[in-house]
Amino acid sequence: MPRVTPLSDIRNIGIIAHVDAGKTTTTERILYYTGRKHTIIDIHDTKDLKTSTTTDYLEQEQKRGITIQSAAVSAFWRDKKINLIDTPGHVDFTIEVNRSLRVLDGAVVVFDGVAGVEPQSETNWRLADNYGVPRICYVNKMDRSGSNFLRCVDMIKKRLGARPLPIQIPIGSEDNFKGMVDLVEMKALVWESDDKDAEWQVLDVTPDLADKLGITVPSDRALLADVPKYRTELVDTCLEQDDAAMEAYLNEGTVPSPDLLRRALRKGTLNSAFTPVLCGSSYKNKGVQQVLDAVVDLLPAPTDVASIKTVDADGEPIGERLCSDDEPFSALAFKVINDAYGALTFIRVYSGVLTKGASVQNSTRGKREKIGRMVEMFAKEANPVEEARAGDIIALVSLTDTETGDTLCDAANPVVLERMRFPDPVISVSVKSKNKAEQEKFGSALGKMVRADPSLHLETDRETGQTILRGMGELHLEVTLDRMRTEFGVEGIMGEPQVAYRETFTKKLTEQYIHKKQTGGSGQFAEVWIVFEPLERSAGFEFVDETVGGSVPREFVPSVEKGLKIQKEDGVLAHYPTVDFRATLIDGSYHDVDSNALTFEIAAKACFREAIRKAGPILLEPVMKVETVTPGDYLGDVIGDINRRRGSILDQLERGTNIAVVAHVPLSEMFGYIGHLRGMTSGRASYTMEFSHYEPVPRNVAEEVIAEKSKAAASA
Ligand SMILES: Nc1nc2c(ncn2[C@@H]2O[C@H](COP(=O)(O)OP(=O)(O)OP(=O)(O)O)[C@@H](O)[C@H]2O)c(=O)[nH]1
Ligand SMILES: [Mg+2]
């Protein structure tokens, strides 16, 4: 089958933003205006579960009015195929943004015109920076009271450190938001009503525009009066991207045509020289078609993006693959979900062609996968396809061994694509089946949830034997259990949320351990010398082998590493995992008959236990970056309360008419914060938080944590 849509006509893009900025609302309009659906559903109409937006189809999403999992849809606009992923804004589901950005070529970053840059706008922006994803900004909700386009542009500059370039200027604001001036065409686009089918009029930008349109608010009038200034900024910035046009402009005064400007805007967007900014109100159906135009005109096609990097076993870059049908097949699995069709593995094809029935290599795990059914997903609807080509995003049905982050490729031309990085979940709860008889079914459902979501971890508490689920936040854990009820028909009980403490140590030391046992005939023997040294925060665990002359035989070195890996999970203070250290095996000895893999594993474990006790072990706790948005009247109370929670204030920012207090606060002090905050501010303040870093726990607090833990173990 030949290619249907040329690669240059594809746009793989994500919509990213803070919670509630209007991503799903915008996606609904995009599907409507591109003719993919004939109605628009609004978020607040889905609570009774009778209807849902296309992308927020999960029961949990409908009920809560938030997006929980990313959903892919596609549509055509001006003959370009737009594959679009609507992502969640809530920090607990940040994994969904992370993995989407990993495989997308461009992004639309949506802002709430009132709140401007919010904590998750910032986090998601940084994620997009990490993955090098070009983006455009869309300042939504211009109809809301308190909206302010310029303030938002200014925040994009200051808080995101970006170079925003307005390509539109809003006409009017709040109730009187009428449309925008298109600075490229220098035309005013004015909507006659809020109706979804309302047309816009195209007017010349004349000095009496404000009067003609009944714009009376002084700041709105001032903005329109400044249109020539913004047009000049746009033209000058575009000329930086085009030497010939710059010369023509300087020498002959040739004003660049709209087409030339668009080409320059595209170039600058793709190389991240600046970020174009648009405005609108998705809810009032103004500006969405213009966002679509910008996606087509300014965001990259798969061929515009630098080729994908390939890596070696240690994740170090070793080469690259061009995005082309003519290259050997390679794809990245970025999402695994369980649904009515079984396990669905979402892949982004980077090169080559994949056909049904093919046998491909999972190069990450060294396993073969047979390709059965392939589908293109439209939110929850699966449409069979026969093949997938470079640039496509599709899902494979019933793969057995492929997990999120794995590479699938042509077995004759194996490559491993750059892996994905996942956040470390810091909140844990004990979970168990409500119904004792359903234990096994519950366990298998839990396993499936964890497989689908790399920001969930499952472990068994070594002392209590309880099943512990670790996640990004209370909402994340709650939603996971609730989804097990709706998707697998099992009900669970959750314990109180707990902090995922870690242990580490403060001194470098060398430890020798001899494991020796004589039982009847055969004996056991292994000797190891290991240097333990602390590393910087979040360095994790490193193992180095520096033995020489076979003092520890080659084949037993992995057993030493294995022993350490197992033992480090059970710290010496309160049985939390030990992190941020290096263990270097420097020497050892063996016995021809009595040494084997097991004896070296045992020796390594004991060596670790002995050493860490002497190495000044300390407890680490997760510290969160908390942003509390409060009316000024309560500022003193909010700050006092944060201080009492062992918090340290980092910043205070203007957030519309409110103030945002940014602070670092230990997670253990944040349980129950929302209730307290509401009480303190008559329900007028809100907050968001995300994991920032691990820090040593103050001694008195550490003693309490350790005592608590041993009490819990004793009662279990
Ligand atoms: N006034 C106004 N409200 C809007 C606009 N766009 C969205 N909203 C409202 O804002 C709320 C949140 O919209 P969503 O589209 O769910 O926001 P989201 O960004 O998808 O949110 P999450 O997926 O949960 O992060 C809904 O009640 C929308 O009706 C807008 O342009 N103007
Ligand atoms: Mg949403």
- The DSSP bridge pattern shows strands 106-112 and 10-17 to be parallel
- Looking at the CA of residue 90, tell me the nearest atom of ligand 1: 25
> Which ligand does the CA of 64 lie closest to?
1
Is the pLDDT assigned to residue 714 strictly greater than 90?
no
Mean pLDDT of 394-420: 91
Predicted confidence at residue 712, as pLDDT, reads 79
Least confident of 325-329, 379-383, 653-657: 653-657
Nearest-CA residue for ligand 1 atom 9 is 22
Distance 42 CA to ligand 1 centre (A): 9
- Looking at the CA of residue 282, tell me the nearest atom of ligand 1: 31
- Looking at the CA of residue 280, tell me the nearest atom of ligand 1: 31
- Looking at the CA of residue 19, tell me the nearest atom of ligand 1: 25
Distance 87 CA to ligand 2 centre (A): 6
Return the best residue to mutate from 283, 291, 479 for the ligand 1 pocket (most ligand atoms within 8 A of CB): 283
Predicted confidence at residue 496, as pLDDT, reads 86
Is the pLDDT assigned to residue 382 strictly greater than 80?
yes
> Which ligand does the CA of 479 lie closest to?
1
Buried b (16+ CB within 10 A) or exposed e, 554-570: eebbebbbbbbbebbeb
> Which ligand does the CA of 287 lie closest to?
1
Predicted confidence at residue 1, as pLDDT, reads 73
Calpha distance 258→243 (Å, rounded): 16
The encoded tokens of residue 615 equal: 């190495």
Predicted confidence at residue 340, as pLDDT, reads 62
Distance 654 CA to ligand 2 centre (A): 25
Task: Give, as one character, the DSSP assignment of residue 249.
Answer: H
Distance 90 CA to ligand 2 centre (A): 9
Nearest-CA residue for ligand 1 atom 13 is 22
Residues within a 6 A CB radius of ligand 1: 17, 19-25, 42-44, 66-67, 88-90, 140-141, 143-144, 281-284
Distance 139 CA to ligand 1 centre (A): 12
**Top-confidence residue, 2 or 190:** 190
Cα-based angle 481, 692, 84 (whole degrees, multiple of 5): 60
- The DSSP bridge pattern shows strands 381-385 and 374-378 to be antiparallel
Distance 22 CA to ligand 2 centre (A): 7
- Report the SS3 class of residue 498: strand
pTM above 0.75, yes or no: yes
Say if CB 574 and CB 709 are below 8 A apart.
yes
Nearest-CA residue for ligand 1 atom 12 is 20
Task: Give, as one character, the DSSP assignment of residue 425.
Answer: P
Interval 540-583: pLDDT, tens: 999 999 999 999 999 999 999 999 999 999 999 999 999 999 99
Distance 65 CA to ligand 2 centre (A): 8
Residues listed for the chain: 716
Return the best residue to mutate from 18, 20, 56 for the ligand 1 pocket (most ligand atoms within 8 A of CB): 20
- Looking at the CA of residue 26, tell me the nearest atom of ligand 1: 15
Distance 43 CA to ligand 1 centre (A): 7
Is the pLDDT assigned to residue 464 strictly greater than 90?
no
Return the best residue to mutate from 15, 19, 24, 30 for the ligand 1 pocket (most ligand atoms within 8 A of CB): 24
Nearest-CA residue for ligand 1 atom 4 is 283
- Looking at the CA of residue 27, tell me the nearest atom of ligand 1: 15
Cα-based angle 201, 204, 208 (whole degrees, multiple of 5): 110
Predicted confidence at residue 17, as pLDDT, reads 96
Q: To the nearest whole number, what is the mean pLDDT of the chain?
A: 92
Which of the four pLDDT bands, split at 50, 70 and 90, describes residue 44?
Answer: confident
Nearest-CA residue for ligand 1 atom 26 is 43
Predicted confidence at residue 341, as pLDDT, reads 62
What percentage of the chain reaches a pLDDT higher than 70? 99
Return the best residue to mutate from 43, 44, 52, 279 for the ligand 1 pocket (most ligand atoms within 8 A of CB): 43
- Report the SS3 class of residue 438: helix
Continuous segment of H or E residues that includes residue 259: helix 258-270
Interval 231-275: pLDDT, tens: 999 999 999 999 998 989 888 888 899 999 999 999 999 999 999
Distance 304 CA to ligand 1 centre (A): 31
Return the best residue to mutate from 15, 19, 25 for the ligand 1 pocket (most ligand atoms within 8 A of CB): 25
Of 84, 83, 106, 99, nearest in space to 271 by CA: 106
Q: How many Å from the N-terminal Cα to the C-terminal Cα in the chain?
A: 63
Nearest-CA residue for ligand 1 atom 11 is 20
Least confident of 39-53, 86-100, 146-160, 235-249: 39-53
Nearest-CA residue for ligand 1 atom 24 is 66
> Which ligand does the CA of 56 lie closest to?
2
Interval 421-431: pLDDT, tens: 788 888 889 99
Distance 432 CA to ligand 1 centre (A): 35
Predicted confidence at residue 524, as pLDDT, reads 94
- The DSSP bridge pattern shows strands 80-86 and 10-17 to be parallel
Say if CB 291 and CB 138 are below 8 A apart.
yes
Interval 285-342: pLDDT, tens: 999 999 999 999 999 999 898 788 888 877 788 888 988 999 999 999 999 988 766 7
Distance 82 CA to ligand 2 centre (A): 18
Mean pLDDT of 76-80: 95
SS3 of 125-164: the string is HHHHHHCCCCEEEEEECCCCCCCCHHHHHHHHHHHHCCCE
Predicted confidence at residue 181, as pLDDT, reads 98
Nearest-CA residue for ligand 1 atom 8 is 22
Distance 193 CA to ligand 1 centre (A): 19
Distance 349 CA to ligand 2 centre (A): 26
> Which ligand does the CA of 93 lie closest to?
1
Which of the four pLDDT bands, split at 50, 70 and 90, describes residue 121?
Answer: very high
Distance 26 CA to ligand 2 centre (A): 9
Calpha distance 186→204 (Å, rounded): 7
Cβ neighbours of residue 714 under 8 Å, at least 6 residues apart?
Answer: none
